[in-house]
């Protein structure tokens, strides 16, 4: 193999590694697109509170919810809870950086009660989506 061929292969390898590095640094998209990817169906409601918000999606007989902070940052206590009337609540709670959930319940045509919390702020919806 001559020196010209070796140089071309080294240049091609360097270019491929540079492109791969840029793709890693760019990372995935965030925001509502990420919340949409977490829950299937259409977005039916956003419940805002001082430190975050709960995004609610509905798909046929199912309701899905995700709690997100106003700003992603260090780990903070977050909680999301969805309860269909006549059933027990389904809860995801812990210390997260980006979101709590998704939590999905079979609601059918029943009302649901949503709760969300980020740090010291929280929200409780009452019976909705009846």
Residues 37-66: pLDDT tens digits? 799 999 999 999 999 999 999 999 999 999
Closest CA to 116 of 108, 125, 107: 125
Q: How far is 13 from 41, CA to CA, in rounded Å?
A: 43
Proportion of the chain above pLDDT 90, given as a percent: 69
- H/E segment holding residue 110: none
Q: What is the DSSP string of 26-38?
A: H----THHHHHHH
Q: How far is 85 from 15, CA to CA, in rounded Å?
A: 58
Least confident of 9-13, 16-20, 96-100: 16-20
Q: pLDDT tens, 12-32?
A: 555 545 545 433 334 343 444
């Amino acid at each position: 193999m001559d020196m010209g061929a070796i140089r071309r292969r080294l240049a091609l390898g360097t270019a491929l590694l540079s492109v791969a590095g840029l793709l890693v640094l760019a990372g995935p998209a965030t925001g509502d697109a990420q919340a949409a990817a977490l829950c299937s169906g259409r977005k039916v409601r956003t419940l805002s509170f001082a430190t975050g918000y709960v995004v609610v999606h509905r798909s046929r007989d199912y309701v899905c919810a995700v709690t997100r902070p106003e700003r992603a940052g260090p780990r903070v206590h977050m909680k999301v809870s969805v309860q269909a009337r006549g059933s027990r609540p389904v809860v995801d709670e812990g210390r997260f950086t980006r979101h709590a959930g998704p939590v999905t319940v079979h609601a059918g045509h029943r009302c649901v009660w949503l709760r969300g919390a980020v740090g010291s702020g929280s929200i409780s919806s009452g019976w909705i989506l009846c």
